[in-house]
Amino acid sequence: MLRPYADVIIDITHTAVDRVFQYEIPEELFGGLSPGMKVRVPFGQGNHLRDGYIIGFSEKPDYDPLKIKKIEGVCEDGVLIEGQLICLAAWMRERYGSTMIQALKTVLPIKRKPKAAQKRYLVRNVGREECEELLMVCRKKNQRARVRLLEAFLTDETLPYEMVVQKLRVSAASMKPFLEQGICRLETKSCFRNPIQGNLRKGTEISLNEEQRRVTAGILSAWKGDRKPCLLHGITGSGKTEVYMEVIRHVAAEGKQAIVLIPEISLTWQTVMRFYRQFGDRVSIVHSRLSAGEKSDQMERARRGELDIMIGPRSALFTPFPNLGLILIDEEHEAAYKSETVPRYHAVEAAIYRCRLAGAMAVLGSATPSAVSYYRAQNGEYHFFQMKTRAKEASVLPSVEIVDLREELKAGNRRIFSRRLKELMGETLKRKEQILLFLNKRGYAGFVSCRACGKAVKCPHCDVSLKVHQDGKLKCHYCGYETPIPRECPSCGSGYIAGFGTGTQKVEVMVKAMFPEASILRMDMDTTSKKGSHEAILSAFADGKADILIGTQMIVKGHDFPRVTLVGILAADLSLYSGGYEAGERTFSLLTQAAGRAGRDSLPGHVVIQSYSPDNYSVEAAASQDYEGFYWHEILYRKLLRYPPVYRMLSLLITSREEEEAAAMADTVKRQAEAADGEGILELVGPARASVAKINDVYRYTFYAKCEEEEPLLELKQRIEALDWGKDVQHQFDME
Ligand code: ADP
Ligand code: ZN
Ligand code: ZN
């Protein structure tokens, strides 16, 4: 296919430029250009030559072909890596809807000179003898500071400047004549700070088991072959991390670098440390608690080839590795991979796209893959690998039981601990084993909900659940509305309505009352606000300093506590009511991960799932640790209701303070979409009030378009973007 036009963006440092320009490709460059290349192009009225980056090609001219200018030539000094990241930005802009500048700012590391941590040294220029002679002279003159400096120079040729000033107390004035006479010189070396401190024990060598070896070999052969993305579905504890490390070892041996994405660094600290023990100084991390300087240092180290591996959340995806070979995404199903700020990219999709640009391969791993990834693997879009047994010998999946909380209530138990869970807790404590209690944050953190019907009390202005505050009132987190706690459930009239305080805190009080001798640790927003407190709590618990760890989502991810034999999930299904077609998937994965924390070592594990809807398929499948069972149920539901991944879906959120304007705009969008219909678009939903219909008195409308193919949706999106949005109505796209 002949594609004689190139899309070029110009001068990326200029913030006013937010456009793509079309240029004609001269014949001699046919076939020699690719996205990301830096080219010289005539620009503006004077046709001054400017640098630009190619971000794509097209067959047809966008306007009068006679007016389209020609590419002048290719810049030989073009940095390939920047080009790649710029292409990635262009793709993100197109796909997720943002300006080019917003996308570029997300993708390109902050441009600044690596001035970070410049270290200065004084270096002796003259020989020892000359130095000794000088010393004699200075002694005679009683120049004490210079004497100290020269004495130091006799032992060391190079002295850290700071040490000279602070320890030897030599002032700049005293050393000035030495510098002028060339007796010594000042040198500056930049040293990049490593965000990980302290010496590490070298890890014990683990030899991979049969299953791990088979999967490693499979992934490596995909890497040597077509480099299609790989999905690794491995149950919790099957040893996926060991597989990742082995694959990376091979990739690094070929001179290529790897990015390892994890959902959130503080939640996966143990994993990070395992990489450090294996790869030492060749690994670095980026995360939100690093300063801007530390971050840009790490990016610079990556660019210079000082690193083989970068670990981090979402944003590590943009590490400027010159020779990227692999992007590995652990816990690929996690919601944290989706950006909440513009551009609202999904890190898994963006990773796959970056791999395509770089000729690298993406590996997605999870115990509960997202329905989207699993679906693609089933369709052969991804290579698929599976690990079904736990890696440690004698470690088997725990036994799981579901307790129906409605039955508890009928039997007169109004606590949030079922009789069965309490009994098992007592037994576990007697055996001196450990317990994890998991509270579903989405459901319980400070909300007041009804124990008969499960509904929470909502804000009349914002359509979200109200939170309990310390003064005992209910407050809206978005708008500040307050009201006393009602005595009866506004939905069903039942009197069994209660707040759970700040959730975990309340649970802690109850556990203390039930088991006064047990020692308890709590992990939630309150106890982890200080830097390093996550790690402190986790390691205290891992060292056996407490019997029970109570926590929210934070405690279920990726931790390995060998002495935990009982996991209690206090309210399993509240995330089922959180809305959205992915609620079932979220509940299933949360429960599976939580249950997977039990019996990680040789001791047998028990899990109790307390639920108001014990026969929901997400809860049942999680209890029997049956991913496939869950998946087939879920995919059937998505097919019936035409949801992703079976269909592609474009969603649009329209917001305005003026309800009429929002409604009017929603109407315009609807007409535009209907006009565009018939081009393969299957279904238009809405516009309608969003499930959270207003926040802080800003009205929200949603609109969805579904289609088997992506292309018609992207076209529709462009049409909607081109509408006159005025200044009072905002909009936001998402593409799934
Ligand atoms: P996953 O990431 O799949 O949950 P991990 O890689 O964290 O699993 O492994 C779970 C536990 O099993 C870890 O403690 C790990 O050290 C151990 N492990 C993994 N592979 C092996 C192996 N081949 N032999 C012995 N222990 C292993
Ligand atoms: Zn409100
Ligand atoms: Zn009720």
What atom in ligand 1 is closest to the CA of residue 234? 3
Give pLDDT, residue 223.
97
Give pLDDT, residue 11.
62
What average pLDDT score do residues 4-8 get? 87
pLDDT beyond 90 at 216: yes
pLDDT beyond 80 at 15: no
Residue that has been written with the tokens 């965000």 in this structure: 195
CB of 588 closer than 8 Å to CB of 635 = no
Percent with pLDDT over 90 in the chain: 26
CB neighbour list of residue 50: distance below 8 Å, 6 or more residues apart: 10, 11, 40, 41, 42, 43, 44
Longest dimension (CA), the chain: 99
**Could you tell me the sign of the dihedral formed by the alpha carbons of 529, 531, 537, 542, in that order?**
positive
DSSP 202: P
Give Cα separations from 602 to 234, 398, 599 (angstroms).
Answer: 19, 11, 7
Give pLDDT, residue 192.
57
d(CA 151, CA 139): 11
209 lines ligand 1 (CB under 6 A): yes
Structure tokens that stand for 732 in this block:
């936001």
d(CA 606, CA 327): 35
Instruction: Tell me which range, 348-352, 614-618, 648-652, is most confidently predicted by mean pLDDT.
Output: 348-352
- Strand 482-484 versus strand 497-499 pairing type: unpaired
Query: Rg for the chain (alpha carbons), in Å?
Result: 30
CB neighbour list of residue 537: distance below 8 Å, 6 or more residues apart: 521, 522, 523, 527, 528, 549
Give pLDDT, residue 318.
94
234 lines ligand 1 (CB under 6 A): yes
CB neighbour list of residue 604: distance below 8 Å, 6 or more residues apart: 396, 398, 399, 565
Give pLDDT, residue 444.
42
Closest CA to ligand 1's atom 11:
237
Q: What is the pLDDT of residues 17-50, one digit of tens each?
A: 567 789 999 888 887 787 777 888 898 888 888 8
Our mutation pick for probing the ligand 1 site, out of 242, 273, 395, counting the most ligand atoms within 8 A of Cβ, is 242
Closest CA to ligand 1's atom 16:
239
What average pLDDT score do residues 216-234 get? 97
Give pLDDT, residue 439.
81
Q: How far is the CA of 216 from the centre of ligand 1 (A)?
A: 14
Burial class of residue 139 in the structure, from the number of CB atoms within 10 Å of its CB (0-12 exposed, 13-18 middle, 19+ buried): middle
**Residue 343 preceded by cis peptide, ω within 30:** yes
What average pLDDT score do residues 94-102 get? 76
Give pLDDT, residue 442.
45
Give pLDDT, residue 373.
96
Structure tokens that stand for 389 in this block:
């047994």
pLDDT beyond 80 at 200: no
Q: Of 295-299, 333-337, 458-462, where does mean pLDDT reach its minimum?
A: 458-462
What average pLDDT score do residues 58-83 get? 80
Give pLDDT, residue 673.
81
pLDDT band at 531 (very low <50, low <70, confident <90, very high): low
d(CA 556, CA 596): 8
Give Cα separations from 232 to 156, 325, 337, 699 (angstroms).
Answer: 55, 18, 17, 42
330 lines ligand 1 (CB under 6 A): no
- Strand 698-707 versus strand 648-656 pairing type: antiparallel
CB of 459 closer than 8 Å to CB of 466 = yes
CA 92 to chain centre: 16
Query: pLDDT higher for 199 or 541?
Result: 541
CA 733 to chain centre: 20
Q: How far is the CA of 464 from the centre of ligand 2 (A)?
A: 7
Minimum-distance ligand to the CA of 386? 1
For 620, the 3-state DSSP assignment is helix
DSSP β-bridge partners for residue 654: 701, 731
542 lines ligand 1 (CB under 6 A): no
**Helix-helix angle 533-542:269-279, to 10 degrees:** 80
Give pLDDT, residue 423.
95
pTM of the entire structure? 0.74
Our mutation pick for probing the ligand 1 site, out of 392, 561, 602, counting the most ligand atoms within 8 A of Cβ, is 392
Mean pLDDT score across all residues of the chain: 82
d(CA 393, CA 593): 20
pLDDT band at 443 (very low <50, low <70, confident <90, very high): very low
Neighbours of 711 (CB within 10 A): 11
Give pLDDT, residue 576.
60
What average pLDDT score do residues 54-63 get? 81
CB neighbour list of residue 218: distance below 8 Å, 6 or more residues apart: 230, 383, 385
Give Cα separations from 290 to 127, 285, 525, 528, 533 (angstroms).
Answer: 44, 9, 19, 17, 15
pLDDT band at 251 (very low <50, low <70, confident <90, very high): very high
- Strand 324-330 versus strand 361-366 pairing type: parallel
Q: How far is the CA of 484 from the centre of ligand 2 (A)?
A: 14
CB of 470 closer than 8 Å to CB of 502 = no
pLDDT band at 394 (very low <50, low <70, confident <90, very high): low
Neighbours of 41 (CB within 10 A): 21
Structure tokens that stand for 553 in this block:
């989502």
Query: pLDDT higher for 603 or 201?
Result: 603
Give pLDDT, residue 114.
44
Q: How far is the CA of 451 from the centre of ligand 3 (A)?
A: 7
Closest CA to ligand 1's atom 19:
239
d(CA 138, CA 153): 14
pLDDT beyond 90 at 603: no
Neighbours of 47 (CB within 10 A): 11
CB of 67 closer than 8 Å to CB of 45 = no
Q: What is the pLDDT of residues 635-657, one digit of tens each?
A: 998 888 888 899 988 888 888 88
d(CA 137, CA 533): 57
Q: What is the pLDDT of residues 108-123, one digit of tens each?
A: 765 444 444 567 788 8
pLDDT band at 712 (very low <50, low <70, confident <90, very high): confident
d(CA 438, CA 556): 8
pLDDT band at 194 (very low <50, low <70, confident <90, very high): low
pLDDT beyond 90 at 248: yes
The CB-side HSE value for 115 (13 A sphere, CA atoms) comes to 4
Give pLDDT, residue 67.
83
Give pLDDT, residue 116.
47
d(CA 131, CA 154): 7
Burial 199-231 (b: 16+ CB within 10 A, else e): eeeeeeebebbebbeebbebbeebbeeebbbbb
What atom in ligand 1 is closest to the CA of residue 207? 23
CB of 353 closer than 8 Å to CB of 345 = no
Q: Of 108-117, 510-519, 619-628, where does mean pLDDT reach its minimum?
A: 108-117
What average pLDDT score do residues 140-168 get? 85
